[in-house]
Chain A
Amino acid sequence: MTETASTAPAAAPTGVLPDVPRLPDRLVDQLAFPARDTYHRMVAAFRDSGFELCADLCAVDYLTHPGRTLPDGVEAERFEVVVNLLSLSVRQRVRIRVQVPEGAPEVDSITDLYPGADAMEREAYDLLGILFTGHPDMTRILMPEDWEGHPLRKDYGVGRVPVQFKEAPGPR
């Protein structure tokens, strides 16, 4: 781990957006916390500087865990969209975390930069209700079309649908 930590940040495009707050990550990856309006520009800058692959995109609902560690100048919101970019040329990862408020859970879609983020953004919408503006096909992907609510939200009612395991009435 120490070896990777020492070699990793060398070729990093840290000068891409210097105004974005950062946290030193003890777990190898580079972390960046852009604001919502600079998020798309930042991902574009990373892509242009050699991060060819959007490895992962997911969202987290921090409703019951508000006091997480964030760098100065970043205000904690309920949702967070987490993007993991991977550079094949410099063999490095970067993780971008965007704060998304509860009232307007919207961020820019990055499908125009990474077409592969398509399904991942649909999944984040489906399970956590984050809307990605500019996404060409913002529909549910894992849940049925007529499903109500977003199951991975922390206030989603677990056990909302009653399930009778024993002595359930037959289909007739």
Chain B
Amino acid sequence: MTDHDNDDVVHEELGHAGGLEPEPEDVELGLETTEKAHREAEEDRWFQSETSEGAQELLPRGTTTAGELRQEVGAVLRLPEGGYVDAGDIDIERRDDQTMIINMGPQHPSTHGVLRLMLELDGETVLRTKPIIGYLHTGMEKTGEELTYVTGATNTTRMDYLSPIANELVFCMATEALLGVELPPRAIWIRMLMAELNRMSSHLIWMATNGMDLGSTSMMIYGFREREMILAFFEKTTGQRMNHNFIRPGGVAADLPDGWQDDIEIICETILARTYEYDELLTGQPIFRDRTEAVGNISAEEALALGVTGPILRSTGVPWDLRRTMPYLAYDKLDFDVIVGSYGDNFDRYSVRLNEIRESIRMVGQIAEMMPPGDYRVQDRKVTPPPRARIDESMEALIHHFKIFTEGFRVPEGEVYVAIESPRGELGCYLVSDGTSKPYRLHIRAPSFVNLQALPLLLRGGLMADAVAVISSVDPIMGEVDR
């Protein structure tokens, strides 16, 4: 009986498959040839034939010329003045059989995403490094050209997924600069509050992952625990834990929830107390200090030459923080310190970030005190949709609402570059408008993308075992690197 049953089933399945197969094949054969010819003709029109492609990978020493090797400190750094590079430092006589090129990533758990590194090793010492990126490239700049200015923030917020508020903020500030809209003060202060909370959560997760990379699993748990408090507040305010789309051109999406001062107070008190716990756990701990001090050094000149910004630049002693040096929003009304290091090593980068959390707590406290009353978005009909209640009453309001969310608003022709201090460095947005409701070109200057160029320099001459800690100290977010 059972055999018979089984036979039936098999037969049925075969029949099913057999019945389906010939049909599409017959149709496709004819279609495919015409489609192919059509596509080839199209491709001729679309593509430039002469694109000089080359390998992105790190090439073996044997195929690299001596001059090139001498130029290279790491694979990317080419300093303009010969003074910085000690020519005798680079052993061009070394043969291929003395070194080994190994591949790390893109699936390596310690590369913070899909970063791939090719490391040239001599024993355990790293000689050259080449970061290979693009594994998370999703064409967000291209997508940005297809979205209106209203919906554009939903796209940019997904780039740097650990500091989405900063990404929304820079896009909206660029849009507003083109529009010439003046924000009401409360919108500005809500933005600052959210941006500083976001900086705290971003640095906390950095502390967590950096601790993890150095073997401190407690720090991993603690960092995520504290971040959860901030994310809970974000959820309460914006409706989402990540990718908020909270900051919109013309203000913010909603006012702060009732009782937000109490939440802020609890967050600030708890996290401030916990930062001193981290001090006990990590800062004074001899193993942690041994593994971070004098590892991955970078000088101020090198950092500037490579375009490195953010905590890495500040760790070298350059007091450059856009919140202070080129104030935006209302940062000039706040009292805070710019944290700088002195040696530019892993430990300095750690302490800069830890102290920036404390500074952000100070700022959040001041913002909560000085939060002005009033509107949380600009009352400009062109930019702001009517309030929900008005839509039920007024036909015009409904039409208006519909128009803003389907067509968007027109932005005057022009181009602008706006930069803010994201937790990772200078986050810039270059926006070109052709007078329609969609950006003509959206370019995001991602701090991680540029900072990643420092990696070959930071790793050079160090031990393979420290590589993981150094990668972590750069704090690359691959969503932002690849966009």
Chain A residues in the interface with B (C-beta under 8 A) = 4, 26-27, 29, 52-56, 58, 60-61, 64-65, 68-69, 82, 84, 86, 88, 91, 93, 95, 111-120, 123, 127, 129, 131, 136-146, 148-152, 155-158, 160
What are 5 contact pairs spanning A and B, CB under 8 A? A53-B307, A115-B79, A118-B78, A136-B71, A138-B54
B194 to chain A, nearest CB (A): 22
- Residues of chain B within 8 A (CB-CB) of A137 are 54, 75-76
Inter-chain contacts of A142 with B (CB < 8 A): 133-134, 137, 482-483
- B68 near A: Cβ within 8 Å? yes
By a beta-carbon cutoff of 8 Å, the part of chain B in contact with chain A is: 42-43, 45-48, 51-56, 68, 71, 75-80, 133-134, 137, 139, 141-142, 146, 177-178, 304-309, 318, 320, 325-326, 413-417, 419, 426, 428, 430, 432, 434, 440-441, 443, 445, 449-450, 452-453, 482-483
Q: CB < 8 Å: which of B77, B325, B482 contacts A91? A: B325
Closest A residue by C-beta to B177: A27
A116 touches B53 (CB 8 A): no
A66, closest chain B residue (CB): B434
Q: Cβ of B306 and Cβ of A115 under 8 Å apart? A: yes
Closest to B332 in A: A3
* A-side interface mostly: loop
Known: A115-B79, A152-B142. A145 touches B434 (CB 8 A): no
| CB-based contact B133/A91 at 8 Å | no
**A145 and B414 in contact (CB under 8 A), knowing A84-B445, A91-B326?**
no
A120 to chain B, nearest CB (A): 7
* Chain B residue contacts of A61, Cβ below 8 A: 441
Distance A119 CA – B56 CA, assembled complex (angstroms): 12
**Are A155 and B76 closer than 8 Å at their CB atoms?**
no
Cα A119 to Cα B454 in complex, Å, equals 11
Closest to B49 in A: A148
Complexed CA–CA distance, A131 and B51 (Å)? 9
Known A-B contacts A88-B320, A115-B77, A151-B142; A141 and B434 likewise in contact (beta carbons under 8 Å): no
B47 contacts A136, C-beta separation under 8 Å:
no
**A83 CB to closest chain B CB, in angstroms?**
10
Tell me which residues across on chain A come within 8 A of B134, comparing CB atoms: 140-144
Q: A65-B440, A116-B453 are in contact. Are A29 and B417 (CB under 8 A)?
A: yes
Whole-angstrom distance between the alpha carbons of A58 and B214 in the complex? Answer: 36
Bound together, the chains give a CA A155 to CA B426 distance in angstroms of 31
Q: Which residues from chain A contact B416 at a C-beta distance below 8 Å? A: 27
